[in-house]
């Protein structure tokens, strides 16, 4: 890919990722998502602060951002689908986590934690069996522990290990190793959750998001 293709692909992905779904859903319900609960622009905080159905809608729409991004950047770069996929995946997560749209609205560069958008990318480029395994892992951990953060981290880690294995065994091109950048961003954005999980005071799913 030429440098201008790389830059354009990244910025298209970034701008799609920057669409502040959770913020819009919150405002439609008279809530500033940044002022309640964890202050995070994500589906879990919407569910706690606005309601489960709105949280589910946010999760779906954020996942759609990831899926649409990968599909679009592949169409833009038909001769370089592997690299475009990885640039798109990284770009959409960067946009979701550090949204320029939110910066324009609130004056601060912030966003979500990338989990739902990442799942959207999986739907497009991962083998079907791995997507099913990842989603079953996510649901299983959530049911058993009611920790959304633990489910996200474990599932993201599983997917990352499987991508590395798929590269090692020749199923994917080596460029797919760069998806570990997405994994690193998700773990970085969940660093406070990791600390709370270790300390034993992480909020469980179903707890309200009081201001």
Quick: pLDDT tens for 138-152: 999 999 999 989 999
pLDDT average, residue stretch 10-27 = 96
Q: What are the tens digits of pLDDT across the range 175-184?
A: 999 999 999 9
The answer as to whether 204 is a domain residue is no
- Cβ atoms within 10 Å of 171's Cβ, excluding its own: 12
Average pLDDT, stretch 100-126? Answer: 93
> What are 186-198's pLDDT values in tens digits?
999 999 999 999 9
- Number of domains the chain is built from: 1
Classify residue 170 as exposed, middle or buried by CB count within 10 Å of its CB (0-12, 13-18, 19+).
Answer: exposed
d(CA 90, CA 178): 9
Q: Would you call 136 exposed, middle or buried from its count of C-beta atoms within 10 A (0-12, 13-18, 19+)?
A: exposed
**Residue whose token pair is 């990842």:** 134
Closest to 115 measured CA to CA, from 140, 148, 139, 86: 148
The pLDDT-based confidence of 207 (bands split at 50, 70, 90) is low
Q: Residue 209 domain-assigned? A: no
**Which helix or strand (DSSP H or E) is residue 149 part of?**
helix 148-168
The secondary structure of 66-99 as a DSSP string is HHHHHHHHHHH-TT-HHHHHHHHHHHHHHHHHSB
Nearest Cα to Cα of residue 159 among 134, 178, 177: 134
In a domain, 208, yes or no: no
Buried b (16+ CB within 10 A) or exposed e, 46-60: bbbbbeeebbebbbe
- CA distances, 137 to each of 33, 143, 170 (Å): 28, 10, 25
Let me know if residue 150 belongs to a domain: yes
Largest CA distance in the chain: 51
Could you read off the pLDDT of 58-92 as tens digits, one per residue?
Answer: 999 999 999 999 999 999 999 999 999 999 999 99
Token digits of residue 147: 């920790």
Instruction: Look at residue 147 and tell me if it is in a domain.
Output: yes
Residue with tokens 């001769």: 79
Length of the chain: 211
Tokens linked to 75: 């169409």
Q: What is the mean pLDDT of the chain?
A: 92
User: Which of 132, 130, 187 is closest to 162 using CA atoms?
Assistant: 130
pLDDT at 208 over 60: no
| Residue span of the structural domain in which 135 resides | 3-199
The pTM (predicted TM-score) of the whole model is 0.91
């Amino acid at each position: 890919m030429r440098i201008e293709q790389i830059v354009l692909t990244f910025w298209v992905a970034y701008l799609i990722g920057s669409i502040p779904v959770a913020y819009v859903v919150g405002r439609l319900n008279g809530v500033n998502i940044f002022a309640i609960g964890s202050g995070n622009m994500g589906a879990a905080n919407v569910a706690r602060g606005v309601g489960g159905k709105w949280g589910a809608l946010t999760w779906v729409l954020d996942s759609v951002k990831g899926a649409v991004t990968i599909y679009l950047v592949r169409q833009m770069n038909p001769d370089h689908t592997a690299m475009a996929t990885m640039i798109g995946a990284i770009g959409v997560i960067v946009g979701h986590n550090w949204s320029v749209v939110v910066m324009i609205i609130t004056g601060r560069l912030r966003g979500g934690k990338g989990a739902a958008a990442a799942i959207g990318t999986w739907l497009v480029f991962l083998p079907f069996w791995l997507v099913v395994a990842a989603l079953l892992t996510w649901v299983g951990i959530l049911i058993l522990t009611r920790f959304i953060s633990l489910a996200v981290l474990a599932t993201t880690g599983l997917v990352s290990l499987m991508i590395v294995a798929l590269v090692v065994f020749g199923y994917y091109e080596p460029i797919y190793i760069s998806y570990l950048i997405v994994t690193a961003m998700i773990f970085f954005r969940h660093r406070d959750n990791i600390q709370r999980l270790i300390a034993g005071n992480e909020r469980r799913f179903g707890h309200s998001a009081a201001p």
